[in-house]
Chain A
Amino acid sequence: MKPAAFSYHRPETISDALALLAEHGDVGKIIAGGQSLVPSMNFRLARPETLIDMNAIAEIAGIEDRGDTLVIGAMTRHAAFHTPVCDGPTGAMLTRVVGNIAHYPIRQRGTFGGSLCHADPASEWCLVAATFDAAMEIHGQDGMREVGAADFFKGTFTTAVGGDELLARIHLPKLPEGWGTGFYEFSRRRGDFALAMAVAALKVEGGKIADARLGVGAVAAHGLRLETLEQALTGQPATEETIAEVAAQVPGLVKPSGDIHGSAEYRRDLAQAVVRRALNAALADCAVPA
């Protein structure tokens, strides 16, 4: 369980990193927290000849609150979200989510950007990005481009980030005050990748659901925003009955694959349960006075 030989660079700026990526082409690989990459190198499933370490690039670490958007530097560690990074529903939601990512030591090292680029179907941050329509700031030789979540996630472990590009920042639109959020995940053990998970946000006005965000993860190639169900919820009575009815449509919308931890059939049904529970949690969160 030792990686194949590699060389190592530690650039301090985005442009130096891009230059290294250009130089090493196909055999170069970015390392962020290393929590996904290093295990796969030790199993020799990944054999990069060159590692380009992002850890010294100060400009892509940390979080900036721009009022309506949270700008998350790619190198921001999972642990940064253990306490709310901003006031309001989004900060609270991220704190609810982060405790489900791996274990405490891994959260000290693993990064938000690393999770997005790794694009595990069961990544919590990918689900958040997909559901709340984050925009990913990708830098390359030709400059910078922003890619919305809908176009960013291409499939299992694949994203819009090219081999000579890097993800610098994630622009996450914030939920305005008044929204309630909920997250529910089921995994075999505490800290394991989810077998299914859902994140939900609801805005309730006059006993009715005025607006909704809903996403489900680990039951398709990548986290899915369920826009049809958001629409189905909107305008309906803000009740658990509404939620149960809408959640019943989930099995038809997801395409889980089976593995040794659960068959596709089981995960389809599980998806319905986690969606209902996340929505119920969001509903309960709405009722909590601010």
Chain B
Amino acid sequence: MTDAPADLANANAIGRSLRRIEDRPLLTGQAAFAADLRVEGQVHMRVVRSPVAFGRITEIDVDEALELPGVIAVWTHADVAALPQIDFRMTRIEGLGPYRQWVLARDFVRYVGEPMAVVFAETGFAAEDAADLIFAEIDELDAHLSATADPVEVYPGVETGLLSEPAVIRKGAGDVDAAFAAADRVVELEVAVGRHTGVPLETRGALAQHDPDSDVVTMMGAAKVPHYNRGAIATMLGLPTDKVQLSEQHVGGGFGIRGELYPEDVLVCHAARVLGRPIRWIEDRKEHLLAANHSRDQAYRLRAAVDPEGVILGLDAAFYTDQGAYVRTHGGTVTDLAAAMLPGPYRIPAYRVAGHIRLTNKTPAGTYRAPGRFESTFARERLMDEIADQCGLSRSEVRRRNLIPEAAMPFDRQIDTLGTHLVYDSGKYADLLERFRTMLDLDRTEDALAERRDAGEMAGCGLGFFVEKSGLGPDDLVRLHLSGDGTIRIVTGVASVGQGVETTLAQVCAGTLGIGIDGIEVIHGQTSLIEKGMGAFATRVTVMAGSAVKIAAEALIAKATEAAAKALGADPADLTFDAGRVSGPSGALTLAEAAQAAGGEIVAEGLFETTHMTYPYGIHFAQVSVDPETCGVTIERYAVAYDIGRMVNPMLVEGQLVGAVAQGVGGALLEEFVYDEAGQPLATSLADYLMPTAMEMPEVELLIREDAPSPINPLGVKGAGEGGINGAGAALAGAVSQALGRRVDRLPMTPERIYRWIRG
């Protein structure tokens, strides 16, 4: 940590595994999640969802439902026709507009689970009973289920010419044709990642209340991006922004999918105003698996121009994102990130990619932890293994030869993503690989596995080298309130999805002020308490809000020093600040005393702005054995190397990495949304959508390094949120592929697929 600023090197709160502030309410059962919220007079909302994958709605009969005792209202599209489609939060690409989803289906249903009607009733039971009585007459159309097949019309006969390929994202740099002309060999590969997603244990839910006096509608149960969603809901309802407030409670997991603006969020807010009663909506698990964003599901075609040493001269790539039925709030984010990050940690001087966004009649897709990277890392690392095999190199050697050298940092990829120029800010890739090889005793490990294979076993190992991205701007604001009793309240617009935001920000504050974290409280996700906030996504909170806290704490020091100078009759220049005290020749004041001297409170602000992301990186290693008869995979060893730049709380970093590995194991081996030919989803409960449990999880060995701090933020931090999943599919596929002695080109690697691979 040679690069750490001097004041932080001395601080004791940063870099320590302090216990989580947020755990006390959770462990004592005091914490409230969305489903814990109840208010007098609340009305239960139940969404009626399409039973078919594609069709034209001819009639929705709601009469019988309306007659049921306890039913207050039933709405279909006609009742909410004034509400516009749900707009994009990110990566708004030309041409995506017509593909947005309505709050309730208009004329067509495009996936099983699409909201067609909504029931409001006095009890949850009555609401479900009524939903059962609503019958939609739908002229079924043939479901389009392949993102690689030729595009078809999205609204046949109505909007002719609107095809199921809303956009193609193209990026590139260097002379690809020249690279292929100069190549010694061309290595080609087709691979695909199955459809799966983040499945938070807490399903979505909301409670919206309208206050007639102030005309403000407040929605509790917000997550991830409360400020953005508040603005979006206000726009949709035609209200000034300050007439909508969003409030986050404890959130039981986000993973990118929870907290985006969905039809249900708009419906509860609208209904609270129209019906004049509080509206409660809690999603059940089946709905969640049908209605919340799916993700992944990309198919890649890669061609690499390779020189005799196994060095990639150029990469020509095309891939297809199965976006599902509509383009949701993320716009082209997943495809854009996949296109930008596909080259990963390798030089690849010439690169050309076409990322096709394709609609199908499946649940719409969005971002899920390491969006576009889990997939592109899988594709790229499979390619690296293929190059290794074809060039007769070891898997680590082919990677080493292609890595971007430290001397090339900061490394400009000459492409843009998410509206930022893609520049890897710092990295010692080869150094991390060497350390990891040593930790794993990789050569010996590989020899031992080769011996086992010679003896007839199916065993192997694989590597997944990746670059992550973190700290997406443009900015974040925090406000620190220091009271006369010395306690500090940090108010921020970022959100907590359970990742330890409160602890992390408190540690940065405490570390900057040289005090303990006990008297520090963190308020997040409340639109009524701070005017802006970007939220929790893109592994951005520690980088953005952490930096803002540091800036704010430094401003607080300046203000406290000023107040102390007045109180002590000293020149501020003669005062020093250390360990929560302002001292000078004529005496010293604690922070509490400084606040008292300033009239009882000192408020300081910190705004951190950036136009660039920071890029942590790492390597996954998996060792597996495959049972040739049951086709089951046993993970014998799992390790992750990760350079995070700088750690605020090592325990939280470890938790993030290991938790993400679990989800990576799910996506690599277990989790898949399977559809039949008619577009009926076949994995609609947790009995069929298989998430890993503790029993399926290997012990995860971690090599966390702080060798390449970020030069572009005041803390030197990079994020921890997504590195633990990014390379999991790649490493596990590499391992299974080596164990089977054949190409593995598809995730998840289910027993059925392994059975087919083994039998050729």
Name A152-180 residues within 8 Å CB distance of B: none
Contact: B670 with A273, CB < 8 Å? Answer: no
Residues of A within 8 A of B128 (CB): 1-2, 44
Residues of B within 8 A of A266 (CB): 631, 751-752, 755
Measured between alpha carbons, how far is A274 from B627 in the docked complex, in Å?
A: 12
Residues of B within 8 A of A4 (CB): 129, 132
Measured between alpha carbons, how far is A44 from B285 in the docked complex, in Å?
A: 14
Contact: A5 with B125, CB < 8 Å? Answer: yes
Select from chain B the residue with minimum beta-carbon distance to A186.
Answer: B630
Q: Which of A1, A193, A261 contacts B286 (CB 8 A)?
A: A1
Tally of contact residues, B, Cβ under 8 A? 29
Measured between alpha carbons, how far is A1 from B128 in the docked complex, in Å?
A: 8
A189/B630 contact (C-beta < 8 A), A5-B129, A195-B751 known: no
Measured between alpha carbons, how far is A279 from B752 in the docked complex, in Å?
A: 24
Binds A, one of B269-277, B349-357, B552-560, B690-698: B690-698
B173 within 8 A of A: no
Q: Which of A44, A192, A274 contacts B690 (CB 8 A)?
A: A192
Contact: B129 with A189, CB < 8 Å? Answer: no
A190 within 8 A of B: yes
A270/B630 contact (C-beta < 8 A), A2-B124, A5-B129, A43-B286 known: yes
Residues of A within 8 A of B124 (CB): 2
Residues of B within 8 A of A190 (CB): 693, 695-696
B683 within 8 A of A: yes
Interface string of B629-650 (1 = CB under 8 A from A): 1111000000000000000000
Residues of B within 8 A of A44 (CB): 128, 132
Residues of B within 8 A of A274 (CB): 630
Name B718-760 residues within 8 Å CB distance of A: 750-752, 755
Measured between alpha carbons, how far is A43 from B674 in the docked complex, in Å?
A: 19
Contact: B629 with A1, CB < 8 Å? Answer: no
Contact: A1 with B693, CB < 8 Å? Answer: no
Which of B285, B692, B752, B755 has the most chain A CB within a 10 Å cutoff? B752
Task: Name the prevailing secondary structure of the A interface residues.
Answer: loop
Measured between alpha carbons, how far is A189 from B132 in the docked complex, in Å?
A: 33
A2/B125 contact (C-beta < 8 A), A186-B632, A188-B751, A262-B752 known: yes
Measured between alpha carbons, how far is A270 from B752 in the docked complex, in Å?
A: 11
A53 within 8 A of B: no
> Measured between C-beta atoms, what is the minimum distance from B235 to chain A in Å?
32
A290 within 8 A of B: no
Measured between alpha carbons, how far is A272 from B630 in the docked complex, in Å?
A: 10
Residues of A within 8 A of B629 (CB): 269-270, 272-273
Select from chain B the residue with minimum beta-carbon distance to A258.
Answer: B752
> Measured between C-beta atoms, what is the minimum distance from B136 to chain A in Å?
17
Task: Name the prevailing secondary structure of the B interface residues.
Answer: loop
Select from chain B the residue with minimum beta-carbon distance to A190.
Answer: B695
Measured between alpha carbons, how far is A263 from B631 in the docked complex, in Å?
A: 13
> Measured between C-beta atoms, what is the minimum distance from A143 to chain B in Å?
38
Residues of B within 8 A of A207 (CB): none
Contact: A260 with B632, CB < 8 Å? Answer: no
Measured between alpha carbons, how far is A191 from B690 in the docked complex, in Å?
A: 11
Q: Which of A186, A191, A260 contacts B688 (CB 8 A)?
A: A260
B31 within 8 A of A: no
Residues of A within 8 A of B670 (CB): 188-189
Q: Which of A1, A191, A272 contacts B695 (CB 8 A)?
A: A191
Measured between alpha carbons, how far is A195 from B629 in the docked complex, in Å?
A: 13
Measured between alpha carbons, how far is A190 from B694 in the docked complex, in Å?
A: 9
Residues of A within 8 A of B695 (CB): 189-191
Total A-B Cβ pairs within 8 A = 67
Q: Which of B125, B284, B631, B674 contacts A260 (CB 8 A)?
A: B674
Name A181-208 residues within 8 Å CB distance of B: 186, 188-193, 195
Residues of B within 8 A of A262 (CB): 750-752, 755
Select from chain B the residue with minimum beta-carbon distance to A42.
Answer: B284
A1/B285 contact (C-beta < 8 A), A44-B132, A260-B683, A270-B629 known: yes
Contact: A189 with B693, CB < 8 Å? Answer: yes
Measured between alpha carbons, how far is A206 from B687 in the docked complex, in Å?
A: 47
Measured between alpha carbons, how far is A191 from B696 in the docked complex, in Å?
A: 11
> Measured between C-beta atoms, what is the minimum distance from A140 to chain B in Å?
33
Residues of B within 8 A of A195 (CB): 751
Residues of A within 8 A of B632 (CB): 186
Residues of A within 8 A of B284 (CB): 1
Measured between alpha carbons, how far is A265 from B758 in the docked complex, in Å?
A: 13
B682 within 8 A of A: yes
Measured between alpha carbons, how far is A96 from B286 in the docked complex, in Å?
A: 33
Measured between alpha carbons, how far is A273 from B632 in the docked complex, in Å?
A: 12
Measured between alpha carbons, how far is A192 from B630 in the docked complex, in Å?
A: 15
Measured between alpha carbons, how far is A189 from B666 in the docked complex, in Å?
A: 11
> Measured between C-beta atoms, what is the minimum distance from B332 to chain A in Å?
30
Measured between alpha carbons, how far is A269 from B682 in the docked complex, in Å?
A: 24
Contact: B630 with A273, CB < 8 Å? Answer: yes
Select from chain A the residue with minimum beta-carbon distance to B682.
Answer: A260
Interface string of A257-290 (1 = CB under 8 A from B): 0001111011001101110000000000000000
Measured between alpha carbons, how far is A191 from B688 in the docked complex, in Å?
A: 13
Name B146-175 residues within 8 Å CB distance of A: none
Select from chain B the residue with minimum beta-carbon distance to A266.
Answer: B755
Residues of A within 8 A of B693 (CB): 189-191
Interface string of B668-692 (1 = CB under 8 A from A): 0010101000000011010110101
Measured between alpha carbons, how far is A263 from B754 in the docked complex, in Å?
A: 12
Select from chain B the residue with minimum beta-carbon distance to A274.
Answer: B630
Residues of A within 8 A of B750 (CB): 188, 261-262
Measured between alpha carbons, how far is A113 from B687 in the docked complex, in Å?
A: 22
Residues of B within 8 A of A269 (CB): 629, 755
Select from chain A the residue with minimum beta-carbon distance to B684.
Answer: A43
Name A1-25 residues within 8 Å CB distance of B: 1-2, 4-5
Measured between alpha carbons, how far is A191 from B692 in the docked complex, in Å?
A: 11
Contact: A189 with B692, CB < 8 Å? Answer: yes
A189/B751 contact (C-beta < 8 A), A260-B682, A260-B683, A273-B629 known: no
Closest 10 CB pairs of A and B: A1-B284, A190-B695, A273-B629, A186-B630, A266-B755, A260-B674, A2-B128, A260-B682, A262-B752, A2-B125
Pairs A–B under 8 Å by Cβ, sample size 27: A1-B128, A2-B125, A4-B132, A5-B129, A44-B128, A186-B630, A186-B632, A186-B751, A188-B750, A188-B751, A189-B670, A189-B693, A190-B693, A192-B687, A192-B690, A260-B683, A260-B688, A262-B750, A262-B755, A263-B752, A263-B755, A265-B755, A269-B629, A269-B755, A270-B751, A273-B629, A274-B630
Could you tell me which B residues sit within 8 Å of A by CB distance? 124-125, 128-129, 132, 284-286, 629-632, 670, 672, 674, 682-683, 685, 687-688, 690, 692-693, 695-696, 750-752, 755
Given contacts A44-B128, A189-B690, A266-B751, 9 further A-B contacts (CB under 8 A): A1-B284, A43-B685, A188-B670, A189-B693, A260-B688, A261-B750, A266-B631, A273-B630, A274-B630
